[in-house]
Structures are given as C-alpha cells and as structure tokens.
Amino acid sequence: MELNLTGRDKHSTPDELQNLSAVMIHGDDIFVDQGAIHGKSRLERGIDFRAAKGPEDVPNGEKIAVIWVTLKTYEAGRGFSGIASAELVIDFPHGIGYKAMGPLVNQMDRAVKGRVDVSNLTSEQKAKLADFLQQLRADLWANTPDEVKAQLA
C-alpha cells in the first residue's frame, strides 16, 4: 500500500490575514513587528509566558500595546480599516510575561473584520499611533475614512 501525501513546501498566509499588520507600542517606541501575528515579536522572544497566570504575577512588568491593523480598498484607494489593540505585560530582566490569548485573538479578529477598538489605549498612545500611521504611509492615511481616524483622536 502506498500513501499519497500532498503538502505545501512554502508557508502561506490565510487570505483574511494578508492585510493584517501588528504595530507595537513599548514606552516611547512604536514599530511594526509582523512576528507578533504568530506570537513571536522581537519583544516576546525569550520570554516565558507560561510562568504567569495573570498580570499580577509580573509585578515589575512593562505594559506593551499590540495593535492589529488591517487595510481595505475604498473608492479613493487603499486605507486603514480595522484597528484593534490588546496588551502584553513583560518583565524583561526576569524573562517572564503575561499575555491573555483570548483578548489578543479577539482583537485580531475585530481588526480583520474592519472594526476599530482602541479602548485600552491611552489618549497619548492613540495620538502616537495616528502620527505613526500617517508617517508610515501617508497615502493609506489619506484614504482612511474619517470615522476610523476619529477613533484615534
């Protein structure tokens, strides 16, 4: 008997994730890190997330905002569509952290579906994100609906 196996030899991305990006805010730094989509951002590497059952288990942790951002083609062209944020808590010197997978995945899903939920960001973080997106791709920002932009004000 012979097994007839097929498979892919290249990594592929599901269609619904092709327009997804991850923006991270860590203190004064803000940057795109696509590794966050798979839980492997540069800030997450080497951190033990199994040790903490909740954020209180990371007493010296720093809060890191993970913002899922998606694109959509509008009449005027491609622009930002879904923007949803979640949070990580990491104690870098001790190599431990906490991330609630439910909120991270749910917020990613909201962004993929074109929803905006940045309720856990401070007004300073929202302004920083708006400035970052404008500078990153002015063309995308120009095509973004006002109702999306307003939620970052």
Nearest to 132 by CA among 25, 18, 42: 25
Contacts of 147 (CB under 8 A, 6+ apart): none
37-81 pLDDT, tens per residue?
Answer: 999 999 999 999 998 999 999 989 999 999 999 999 999 999 999
pTM: 0.87
Domain borders along the chain are: 17-150
72-122 pLDDT, tens per residue?
Answer: 999 999 999 999 999 999 999 999 999 999 999 999 999 999 999 999 999
DSSP 59-82: TTPEEEEEEEEEEEEETTEEEEEE
Helix (H, G, I), strand (E, B) or coil at 126: helix
Judged against a pLDDT cut of 80, whether residue 123 lies above it is answered with: yes
Q: On the CB side of 97, how many CA atoms lie within 13 Å of its CA?
A: 21
Tell me which DSSP letter residue 144 carries. S
Mean pLDDT of 122-129: 98
102's tokens = 């439910």
